[in-house]
Amino acid sequence: MDSRASELFDVDHLGRLSLRTTLDRETKDHYSFTVEVGSQPVSYHQNSTTTVNVRVTDVNDNSPVFSHPNWAVTVRDGMRSGEVLQRLVATDADDAENGRISYRILSGDDYGIFSVAPDTGALMFNQWDDEQLVRHNDGKWTIFVEAKDHGSIRRWVH
Protein backbone atom coordinates (compact mmCIF):
# COMPACT_ATOMS: atom_id res chain seq x y z
CA MET A 1 0.00 0.00 0.00
CA ASP A 2 1.38 3.46 -0.82
CA SER A 3 2.19 5.87 2.04
CA ARG A 4 -0.93 8.04 1.61
CA ALA A 5 -3.24 5.02 1.60
CA SER A 6 -1.48 3.54 4.64
CA GLU A 7 -2.23 6.77 6.56
CA LEU A 8 -5.96 6.19 5.99
CA PHE A 9 -6.36 2.41 5.70
CA ASP A 10 -4.91 -0.66 7.36
CA VAL A 11 -4.79 -4.25 6.15
CA ASP A 12 -4.18 -6.82 8.88
CA HIS A 13 -2.41 -10.21 8.54
CA LEU A 14 -5.73 -11.84 7.58
CA GLY A 15 -6.30 -9.33 4.77
CA ARG A 16 -9.08 -7.37 6.53
CA LEU A 17 -9.27 -3.74 5.45
CA SER A 18 -10.06 -1.13 8.12
CA LEU A 19 -9.96 2.64 8.52
CA ARG A 20 -7.31 4.43 10.54
CA THR A 21 -9.22 7.74 10.46
CA THR A 22 -12.54 9.25 9.44
CA LEU A 23 -13.15 9.93 5.76
CA ASP A 24 -15.10 12.94 4.43
CA ARG A 25 -16.84 12.63 1.06
CA GLU A 26 -16.77 16.40 0.53
CA THR A 27 -12.95 16.27 0.70
CA LYS A 28 -12.48 13.15 -1.41
CA ASP A 29 -15.14 10.69 -2.56
CA HIS A 30 -13.00 7.79 -3.77
CA TYR A 31 -9.65 6.12 -3.12
CA SER A 32 -7.76 3.60 -5.18
CA PHE A 33 -4.61 1.84 -4.01
CA THR A 34 -2.68 -1.37 -4.50
CA VAL A 35 -2.25 -3.96 -1.76
CA GLU A 36 0.54 -6.52 -1.95
CA VAL A 37 0.49 -9.78 -0.01
CA GLY A 38 3.33 -12.23 0.33
CA SER A 39 3.88 -15.72 1.69
CA GLN A 40 6.39 -16.90 4.27
CA PRO A 41 9.04 -18.26 4.59
CA VAL A 42 11.15 -16.07 2.38
CA SER A 43 12.72 -19.08 0.61
CA TYR A 44 9.29 -19.91 -0.82
CA HIS A 45 8.26 -16.31 -1.16
CA GLN A 46 5.41 -15.61 -3.51
CA ASN A 47 3.51 -12.39 -3.70
CA SER A 48 0.39 -11.06 -5.29
CA THR A 49 -1.15 -7.63 -5.71
CA THR A 50 -4.67 -6.36 -6.05
CA THR A 51 -6.20 -2.95 -6.56
CA VAL A 52 -8.63 -1.78 -3.91
CA ASN A 53 -11.23 0.85 -4.82
CA VAL A 54 -13.08 2.59 -1.98
CA ARG A 55 -16.09 4.81 -2.68
CA VAL A 56 -17.06 7.13 0.18
CA THR A 57 -20.82 7.60 0.55
CA ASP A 58 -22.38 10.78 1.86
CA VAL A 59 -23.74 11.49 5.32
CA ASN A 60 -25.74 14.62 6.01
CA ASP A 61 -22.98 16.53 7.77
CA ASN A 62 -23.47 19.96 6.15
CA SER A 63 -26.23 22.52 6.53
CA PRO A 64 -27.49 24.66 3.65
CA VAL A 65 -25.81 28.06 3.35
CA PHE A 66 -27.43 31.11 1.75
CA SER A 67 -25.27 32.91 -0.82
CA HIS A 68 -26.18 36.22 0.88
CA PRO A 69 -27.19 36.78 4.50
CA ASN A 70 -29.78 39.41 3.49
CA TRP A 71 -31.58 40.43 0.31
CA ALA A 72 -33.34 43.70 -0.42
CA VAL A 73 -36.11 43.67 -3.03
CA THR A 74 -38.47 46.31 -4.33
CA VAL A 75 -42.15 45.78 -5.01
CA ARG A 76 -43.32 48.17 -7.72
CA ASP A 77 -46.80 49.53 -8.04
CA GLY A 78 -48.71 47.56 -10.64
CA MET A 79 -46.80 44.28 -10.23
CA ARG A 80 -48.75 41.16 -11.12
CA SER A 81 -49.23 38.16 -8.90
CA GLY A 82 -46.50 35.56 -9.46
CA GLU A 83 -43.80 38.01 -10.59
CA VAL A 84 -40.39 36.96 -9.29
CA LEU A 85 -38.76 39.53 -7.03
CA GLN A 86 -35.53 37.64 -6.30
CA ARG A 87 -34.17 34.14 -6.53
CA LEU A 88 -32.89 33.17 -3.09
CA VAL A 89 -29.92 30.84 -3.42
CA ALA A 90 -28.68 28.35 -0.84
CA THR A 91 -26.17 25.56 -1.41
CA ASP A 92 -25.37 22.39 0.51
CA ALA A 93 -22.08 20.53 0.08
CA ASP A 94 -23.75 17.17 0.70
CA ASP A 95 -24.80 14.82 -2.08
CA ALA A 96 -28.16 13.64 -3.44
CA GLU A 97 -31.08 14.03 -1.02
CA ASN A 98 -28.73 15.28 1.70
CA GLY A 99 -27.90 18.25 -0.53
CA ARG A 100 -31.31 18.89 -2.14
CA ILE A 101 -32.81 22.09 -0.73
CA SER A 102 -36.39 23.26 -0.19
CA TYR A 103 -37.37 26.81 0.73
CA ARG A 104 -40.25 28.23 2.75
CA ILE A 105 -41.23 31.50 4.39
CA LEU A 106 -40.95 31.16 8.16
CA SER A 107 -42.31 34.50 9.31
CA GLY A 108 -42.92 38.12 8.44
CA ASP A 109 -45.55 37.62 5.75
CA ASP A 110 -48.74 37.80 7.79
CA TYR A 111 -50.77 39.18 4.86
CA GLY A 112 -49.68 36.65 2.22
CA ILE A 113 -48.03 39.31 0.07
CA PHE A 114 -45.07 37.05 -0.78
CA SER A 115 -44.50 33.41 -1.58
CA VAL A 116 -41.40 31.36 -2.22
CA ALA A 117 -41.13 28.47 -4.67
CA PRO A 118 -40.11 25.47 -2.54
CA ASP A 119 -37.79 23.92 -5.14
CA THR A 120 -36.19 27.01 -6.71
CA GLY A 121 -36.11 29.65 -3.97
CA ALA A 122 -37.85 32.17 -6.23
CA LEU A 123 -39.35 34.86 -4.00
CA MET A 124 -42.55 36.02 -5.66
CA PHE A 125 -45.05 38.81 -5.25
CA ASN A 126 -48.57 37.53 -4.59
CA GLN A 127 -50.88 40.47 -4.00
CA TRP A 128 -51.62 43.41 -1.75
CA ASP A 129 -54.00 46.22 -1.30
CA ASP A 130 -53.15 49.78 -0.31
CA GLU A 131 -54.55 49.30 3.17
CA GLN A 132 -52.07 46.48 3.88
CA LEU A 133 -49.21 48.59 2.61
CA VAL A 134 -50.11 51.59 4.76
CA ARG A 135 -50.59 49.47 7.89
CA HIS A 136 -47.15 47.97 7.72
CA ASN A 137 -44.00 50.05 8.27
CA ASP A 138 -44.31 52.39 5.31
CA GLY A 139 -44.23 49.46 2.92
CA LYS A 140 -41.08 47.85 4.39
CA TRP A 141 -41.27 44.16 5.13
CA THR A 142 -38.83 41.81 6.79
CA ILE A 143 -39.48 38.17 6.06
CA PHE A 144 -37.50 35.13 7.16
CA VAL A 145 -36.98 32.29 4.71
CA GLU A 146 -35.73 28.83 5.60
CA ALA A 147 -33.60 26.60 3.39
CA LYS A 148 -33.82 22.96 4.48
CA ASP A 149 -32.09 19.91 3.05
CA HIS A 150 -33.76 16.52 2.54
CA GLY A 151 -31.40 14.33 4.54
CA SER A 152 -32.78 11.72 6.95
CA ILE A 153 -31.78 14.10 9.74
CA ARG A 154 -32.61 17.46 8.20
CA ARG A 155 -30.38 20.51 8.48
CA TRP A 156 -31.50 24.06 7.78
CA VAL A 157 -30.59 27.74 7.77
CA HIS A 158 -32.73 30.88 7.88
What tens digit of pLDDT does each residue of 35-49 get?
Answer: 988 777 666 778 888
pLDDT value at residue 132: 61
Report d(CA 37, CA 34) in Å as an integer: 10
pLDDT value at residue 152: 87
Query: How many Cα neighbours within 13 Å face the side chain of 14?
Result: 2
pLDDT value at residue 3: 78
The pTM assigned to this predicted structure is: 0.80
Instruction: Tell me the three state secondary structure of residue 6.
Output: helix
Domains for the chain: give ranges and CATH numbers.
3-55 (no CATH), 65-157 (2.60.40.60)
Asked whether 87 and 144 are in contact (CB, 8 A), the reply is no
Band (144; pLDDT cuts 50, 70, 90): very high
Asked whether 109 and 155 are in contact (CB, 8 A), the reply is no
Residue 135 has pLDDT above 70, yes or no: no
Does residue 41 have a cis bond before it (omega within 30 degrees)? Answer: yes
Per-residue pLDDT reduced to its tens digit, 26-84:
999 999 999 988 777 666 778 888 999 999 999 999 999 999 999 999 888 788 999 99
- Complete edge-to-edge strand list for the sheet that includes strand 84-87: 84-87, 122-125, 114-116
